[in-house]
Amino acid sequence: MSKALTFDFNNMMSGAVGKDGITDGEINGCAAKAAEARAAVLAEAGKGWQGWMNLPYNQDEIVKDILECAVSVRSRCDAFVVLGIGGSALGPSAVFNALKHLRYNDLPKEKRGGPKFYVEDNVDPERMASLLDVIDVEKTVFNVITKSGATSETMSQFLIIHKLLKDKLGDRAAEHIIATTDEKKGNLIKIAKEEGLKTFYIPDGVGGRFSELCPVGLLPAAVLGIDIKRMLEGARDMDELCRDEKMEKNPALMAAALMYIAMNKGKNISVMMPYADSLRLISDWYCQLWAESLGKAVDNDGKRVYAGQTPVKALGVTDQHSQVQLYTEGPFDKVVTFLAVENFRDTVVIPDGFPDLPDVNFLCGSTMNRLINTELDATEYALTKAGRLNFRITLKQVDEYSIGGLLYFFMMQTAYCGAMLNINTYNQPGVEEGKNATYAMFGKKGYEEKKKELDSAPAKDEKYVI
């Protein structure tokens, strides 16, 4: 059993959900493929785009630098703003939401113990304008995160902030910008050197959706006072567990095998449903990890496979009142992952009242803690009774150790599942096509042929516009 979490897949099995469930025979029949996937992933650990597997082990000096920088940032700013998109934003957001006060930015400064925190991951002009309405740029440090320095969204934000800082502070603008990027190549590292920016490096072989445990996520977490050493310890212990050759002792390998079998049985939707507001944004982070890693048109042999499983985020108990009706009685095309918390950081007692209203009074004297977990049990029961596949991941408590372990568990599950599907888990050609089209539409040099392609596309027919 992991010290960070427990993985209960009883309700994936036919004994619990009936004919639509998975049998021991199907797991045994998948064991050889799972073993091959494990061997393939571990053989490449730390190599190529699996550099993320080194992160729990090789960052002592980097962590020291991050912690020193974090002390400086906390001492001199009222706000800390991440400029990034994808993994550069989703990871920092998820960890912040999990480990800090749920209304952190609303707390007075002495209770926060650190700067207000904002993550800007879109280019909606109203959003940028609204940020500038609530921060003082002269009392803000901006962390611009992009490995290539060519991410249009992030660099557009950077250009806006850079000009504002230059106009107000002149040469001191550099004191308010930290760059997190590639050490040797790309546009941002060139700018960082020219401007004299404090810089942290995204290691080789660490893609955006696998980057939370490197400076991409560790610096924002440290600025907020989160124990990043403990996060890495949780990831390290989870890595050891998820390397076990026995599938029945390896939660990530078992989870990958179960999802692989489920996909082959037509379960093409993965619902992530935490029963804790602190874990709400883990669902957003997971959605990118699972979708971008596994959604591939061709496999490693060039065969058209259209692989993948659509991730959907939900929140218990909120979405019991919006989505669970579909999950219980709609198509048999989903696997629901429940994220549970055994011990919440606060206990809230439901006071006595209205004894003449039994529909209300039955709650009195209990706690919200019991209520939320009882509702999880009830929803799990309802789905299982209806023959719907689901499993539960339980954190003993939400802390740095368990979050580090949980993130690493999902990364290992994704790596193993990608290997079982025989696809490239780490590329993203579907994303690149949209990027290239954007560059061409803006007339970026080198994209002339793409612009011709776009110009030759059929015009929209007004008949289909109302």
Q: Which residues are catalytic?
A: 292, 321, 435
CA–CA gap between residue 395 and residue 301 (Å, rounded): 39
Closest CA to 46 of 196, 209, 206, 173: 206
Given strand 79-83, what is the order of strands in its sheet? 116-120, 79-83, 140-145, 177-181, 198-201
Q: Which ranges in 265-317 belong to alpha helices (H)?
A: 280-294
Closest CA to 79 of 124, 137, 128, 10: 137
Q: Do you find a cis peptide bond into 223, omega within 30 degrees of 0?
A: no
Taking the CA of residue 313 as centre, how many other CA atoms within 13 Å lie in the half-sphere pointing to its CB?
Answer: 15
Q: What are the structure tokens assigned to 333, written together?
A: 């095309």
Cβ atoms of residues 388 and 273 within 8 Å: no
Query: In DSSP terms, which residues pair with 336 in a beta bridge?
Result: 271, 390
Q: How many CB atoms within 10 Å of residue 223?
A: 27
Which run of H or E residues covers position 376? helix 368-385
CA–CA gap between residue 115 and residue 173 (Å, rounded): 18
Distances (CA, A) of 101 to 19, 57, 253: 44, 29, 33
Using CB atoms within 10 Å of the CB of residue 252, give its burial: 0 to 12 exposed, 13 to 18 middle, 19+ buried.
buried
Cβ atoms of residues 271 and 312 within 8 Å: yes
Q: How many helices (H) and strands (E) does the chain have?
A: 18, 10
CA–CA gap between residue 424 and residue 421 (Å, rounded): 9
Check residue 388 and report its DSSP letter.
-
CA–CA gap between residue 376 and residue 41 (Å, rounded): 34
Q: Considering Cα of 241, then 247, then 251, then 255, what sign does the dihedral take?
A: positive
Cβ atoms of residues 121 and 113 within 8 Å: no
Q: What are the structure tokens assigned to 291, written together?
A: 């979708």
311, amino acid identity: P
